[in-house]
Protein backbone atom coordinates (compact mmCIF):
# COMPACT_ATOMS: atom_id res chain seq x y z
CA UNK A 1 0.00 0.00 0.00
CA UNK A 2 1.24 3.48 -0.87
CA UNK A 3 2.18 5.90 1.89
CA UNK A 4 -0.20 8.83 1.68
CA UNK A 5 1.44 12.23 1.53
CA UNK A 6 0.25 15.06 3.72
CA UNK A 7 0.61 17.55 0.87
CA UNK A 8 -2.45 19.87 0.56
CA UNK A 9 -3.08 18.77 -3.02
CA UNK A 10 -3.87 15.25 -1.77
CA UNK A 11 -7.40 16.49 -1.03
CA UNK A 12 -7.90 16.75 -4.78
CA UNK A 13 -6.31 13.37 -5.60
CA UNK A 14 -8.64 11.05 -3.70
CA UNK A 15 -10.13 9.34 -6.76
CA UNK A 16 -8.09 7.44 -9.36
CA UNK A 17 -9.26 9.32 -12.48
CA UNK A 18 -9.29 13.06 -13.10
CA UNK A 19 -11.77 13.90 -15.87
CA UNK A 20 -10.36 16.27 -18.48
CA UNK A 21 -13.21 18.09 -20.14
CA UNK A 22 -14.33 21.14 -22.06
CA UNK A 23 -18.03 21.33 -21.23
CA UNK A 24 -19.31 20.03 -17.88
CA UNK A 25 -22.92 20.15 -19.08
CA UNK A 26 -22.26 17.25 -21.47
CA UNK A 27 -21.25 14.80 -18.78
CA UNK A 28 -23.80 15.14 -16.02
CA UNK A 29 -23.50 12.92 -12.98
CA UNK A 30 -20.36 11.00 -13.92
CA UNK A 31 -18.13 13.99 -13.05
CA UNK A 32 -19.76 14.38 -9.62
CA UNK A 33 -17.86 11.26 -8.49
CA UNK A 34 -14.48 12.84 -9.27
CA UNK A 35 -12.39 14.54 -6.61
CA UNK A 36 -10.97 16.90 -9.26
CA UNK A 37 -11.69 17.98 -12.83
CA UNK A 38 -9.27 19.58 -15.29
CA UNK A 39 -10.91 22.15 -17.53
CA UNK A 40 -9.00 21.98 -20.79
CA UNK A 41 -10.16 23.89 -23.81
CA UNK A 42 -13.11 26.09 -24.50
CA UNK A 43 -12.77 29.84 -24.42
CA UNK A 44 -12.53 32.67 -21.97
CA UNK A 45 -16.07 33.78 -22.76
CA UNK A 46 -17.42 30.35 -21.67
CA UNK A 47 -15.71 30.39 -18.24
CA UNK A 48 -18.50 32.19 -16.30
CA UNK A 49 -21.08 29.57 -17.37
CA UNK A 50 -18.67 26.76 -16.47
CA UNK A 51 -17.97 28.33 -13.08
CA UNK A 52 -21.70 28.51 -12.34
CA UNK A 53 -22.03 24.79 -13.09
CA UNK A 54 -19.21 24.03 -10.63
CA UNK A 55 -20.91 26.12 -7.95
CA UNK A 56 -23.97 23.84 -8.04
CA UNK A 57 -24.32 21.64 -4.92
CA UNK A 58 -23.47 18.40 -6.78
CA UNK A 59 -20.11 19.79 -7.97
CA UNK A 60 -19.27 22.22 -5.17
CA UNK A 61 -16.90 19.70 -3.55
CA UNK A 62 -15.09 18.81 -6.78
CA UNK A 63 -11.70 20.48 -7.28
CA UNK A 64 -11.46 22.57 -10.41
CA UNK A 65 -8.14 23.15 -12.16
CA UNK A 66 -7.81 25.21 -15.35
CA UNK A 67 -5.31 24.20 -17.99
CA UNK A 68 -4.19 27.79 -18.41
CA UNK A 69 -2.28 27.06 -21.63
CA UNK A 70 -5.30 25.62 -23.47
CA UNK A 71 -8.23 27.93 -22.74
CA UNK A 72 -8.62 30.23 -25.74
CA UNK A 73 -8.17 33.88 -24.82
CA UNK A 74 -6.67 33.17 -21.40
CA UNK A 75 -3.07 34.25 -21.06
CA UNK A 76 -0.62 31.85 -19.43
CA UNK A 77 0.74 34.77 -17.43
CA UNK A 78 0.34 36.42 -14.05
CA UNK A 79 -2.58 38.41 -15.48
CA UNK A 80 -4.28 35.17 -16.49
CA UNK A 81 -3.69 33.78 -12.99
CA UNK A 82 -5.18 36.90 -11.41
CA UNK A 83 -8.27 36.52 -13.59
CA UNK A 84 -8.74 32.88 -12.59
CA UNK A 85 -8.26 33.73 -8.90
CA UNK A 86 -10.85 36.51 -9.19
CA UNK A 87 -13.48 33.94 -10.21
CA UNK A 88 -13.25 32.39 -6.70
CA UNK A 89 -13.86 28.83 -7.87
CA UNK A 90 -10.63 27.50 -9.33
CA UNK A 91 -8.42 25.52 -6.96
CA UNK A 92 -5.44 25.61 -9.27
CA UNK A 93 -3.90 25.51 -12.70
CA UNK A 94 -2.28 22.98 -14.99
CA UNK A 95 0.56 24.31 -17.14
CA UNK A 96 3.82 23.52 -18.88
CA UNK A 97 5.11 26.91 -17.68
CA UNK A 98 6.71 25.99 -14.36
CA UNK A 99 7.64 29.61 -13.62
CA UNK A 100 3.94 30.36 -12.95
CA UNK A 101 3.97 28.24 -9.77
CA UNK A 102 5.22 31.01 -7.50
CA UNK A 103 2.70 33.58 -8.74
CA UNK A 104 -0.10 31.02 -8.51
CA UNK A 105 0.85 30.19 -4.92
CA UNK A 106 0.68 33.90 -4.01
CA UNK A 107 -2.89 33.92 -5.37
CA UNK A 108 -3.73 30.75 -3.40
CA UNK A 109 -3.94 28.62 -6.53
CA UNK A 110 -2.22 25.24 -6.69
CA UNK A 111 -0.03 24.36 -9.66
CA UNK A 112 0.31 21.10 -11.53
CA UNK A 113 3.26 21.21 -13.93
CA UNK A 114 2.96 19.07 -17.05
CA UNK A 115 6.05 17.17 -18.15
CA UNK A 116 6.28 15.55 -21.58
CA UNK A 117 8.82 12.74 -21.43
CA UNK A 118 10.42 11.94 -24.74
CA UNK A 119 13.80 10.72 -23.51
CA UNK A 120 16.10 10.48 -20.47
CA UNK A 121 17.23 14.07 -20.84
CA UNK A 122 13.65 15.34 -20.75
CA UNK A 123 13.07 13.23 -17.65
CA UNK A 124 16.09 14.65 -15.79
CA UNK A 125 15.22 18.20 -16.76
CA UNK A 126 11.59 17.64 -15.80
CA UNK A 127 12.47 16.42 -12.32
CA UNK A 128 14.79 19.38 -11.75
CA UNK A 129 12.36 21.98 -13.09
CA UNK A 130 9.32 20.67 -11.22
CA UNK A 131 11.20 20.41 -7.95
CA UNK A 132 12.76 23.87 -8.30
CA UNK A 133 9.41 25.48 -9.19
CA UNK A 134 7.85 24.11 -6.00
CA UNK A 135 4.76 23.07 -7.91
CA UNK A 136 2.14 21.15 -5.96
CA UNK A 137 2.19 18.13 -8.29
CA UNK A 138 3.44 16.99 -11.67
CA UNK A 139 1.52 15.41 -14.52
CA UNK A 140 3.71 13.07 -16.56
CA UNK A 141 2.77 12.46 -20.17
CA UNK A 142 2.33 9.94 -21.66
CA UNK A 143 1.05 7.73 -18.88
CA UNK A 144 3.03 4.75 -20.15
CA UNK A 145 6.21 6.77 -19.61
CA UNK A 146 5.11 7.64 -16.07
CA UNK A 147 4.94 3.93 -15.33
CA UNK A 148 8.32 3.17 -16.90
CA UNK A 149 10.19 5.95 -15.03
CA UNK A 150 8.50 5.52 -11.65
CA UNK A 151 11.78 4.57 -9.95
CA UNK A 152 13.49 7.67 -11.35
CA UNK A 153 10.74 9.93 -10.04
CA UNK A 154 10.82 8.34 -6.57
CA UNK A 155 13.35 10.98 -5.52
CA UNK A 156 11.03 13.79 -6.61
CA UNK A 157 8.99 14.95 -3.59
CA UNK A 158 5.95 15.97 -5.62
CA UNK A 159 2.83 13.85 -6.06
CA UNK A 160 2.65 12.38 -9.56
CA UNK A 161 -0.27 12.21 -11.96
CA UNK A 162 -0.12 10.20 -15.20
CA UNK A 163 -1.78 11.58 -18.31
CA UNK A 164 -2.35 10.69 -21.90
CA UNK A 165 -3.08 7.43 -23.69
CA UNK A 166 -4.73 5.58 -20.80
CA UNK A 167 -7.38 3.58 -22.56
CA UNK A 168 -8.41 0.84 -20.16
CA UNK A 169 -9.02 0.20 -16.50
CA UNK A 170 -5.84 -1.92 -16.55
CA UNK A 171 -3.87 1.13 -17.79
CA UNK A 172 -5.24 3.19 -14.89
CA UNK A 173 -4.40 0.49 -12.34
CA UNK A 174 -0.87 0.11 -13.71
CA UNK A 175 -0.26 3.86 -13.33
CA UNK A 176 -1.66 3.90 -9.78
CA UNK A 177 0.36 0.81 -8.85
CA UNK A 178 3.53 2.55 -10.11
CA UNK A 179 3.08 5.35 -7.57
CA UNK A 180 0.99 7.88 -9.46
CA UNK A 181 -1.78 9.37 -7.33
CA UNK A 182 -4.24 9.66 -10.25
CA UNK A 183 -4.61 9.47 -14.01
CA UNK A 184 -6.06 12.21 -16.22
CA UNK A 185 -8.41 11.13 -18.97
CA UNK A 186 -10.83 12.49 -21.56
CA UNK A 187 -12.64 9.12 -21.61
CA UNK A 188 -15.98 9.09 -19.72
CA UNK A 189 -15.84 5.28 -19.49
CA UNK A 190 -12.71 5.61 -17.29
CA UNK A 191 -14.28 8.40 -15.17
CA UNK A 192 -16.73 5.75 -13.96
CA UNK A 193 -13.88 4.16 -11.97
CA UNK A 194 -14.30 6.99 -9.46
CA UNK A 195 -16.52 6.43 -6.45
CA UNK A 196 -16.24 2.63 -6.58
DSSP bridge partners of 160: 138
Task: Check residue 132 and give its pLDDT.
Answer: 86
Q: How far apart are CA 70 and CA 188, in angstroms?
A: 20
Residue whose C-alpha is closest to residue 149's, from 111, 169, 175:
175
Q: How many domains does the chain have?
A: 1
The pLDDT tens digits along the chain (196 residues) read 344 445 689 999 999 999 999 877 787 788 999 999 999 988 999 898 889 999 999 999 999 999 999 999 999 999 999 999 999 999 999 999 999 999 999 999 999 999 999 888 988 888 888 788 889 999 999 999 999 999 888 888 899 999 989 999 999 999 999 999 999 999 999 999 998 7
Question: Do the strands 63-67 and 92-95 form a parallel or antiparallel pair, or are they unpaired?
Answer: parallel
Give a yes or no: residue 183 inside a domain: yes
Domain span at residue 61?
8-191
Give a yes or no: residue 2 inside a domain: no
Task: Check residue 23 and give its pLDDT.
Answer: 79
Give a yes or no: residue 149 inside a domain: yes
Give a yes or no: residue 80 inside a domain: yes
Give a yes or no: residue 3 inside a domain: no
Task: Check residue 6 and give its pLDDT.
Answer: 54
Give a yes or no: residue 1 inside a domain: no
Q: How far apart are CA 105 and CA 178, in angstroms?
A: 28
Task: Check residue 66 and give its pLDDT.
Answer: 96
Give a yes or no: residue 165 inside a domain: yes
- Other Cβ atoms closer than 10 A to 151: 9
Give the ranges where the chain is alpha helix by DSSP (H). Answer: 47-55, 78-86, 100-106, 120-133, 143-148, 150-153, 169-177, 188-191
The dihedral over CA atoms of 122, 125, 127, 133, expressed in degrees to the nearest 10, equals: -130
Distances in Å between the Cα of 79 and the Cα atoms of 53, 63, 117 are 24, 22, 29
Give a yes or no: residue 23 inside a domain: yes
Domain with residue 123: its CATH number is: 3.20.20.70
Are the beta carbons of 94 and 139 closer than 8 angstroms? yes
Amino acid sequence: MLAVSRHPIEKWLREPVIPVLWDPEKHGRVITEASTVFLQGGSLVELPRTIERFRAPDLAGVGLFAHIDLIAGLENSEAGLEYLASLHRFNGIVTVHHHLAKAARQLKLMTIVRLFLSDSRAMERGIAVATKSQADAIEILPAAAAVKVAADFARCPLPRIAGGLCRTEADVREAIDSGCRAVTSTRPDLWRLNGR
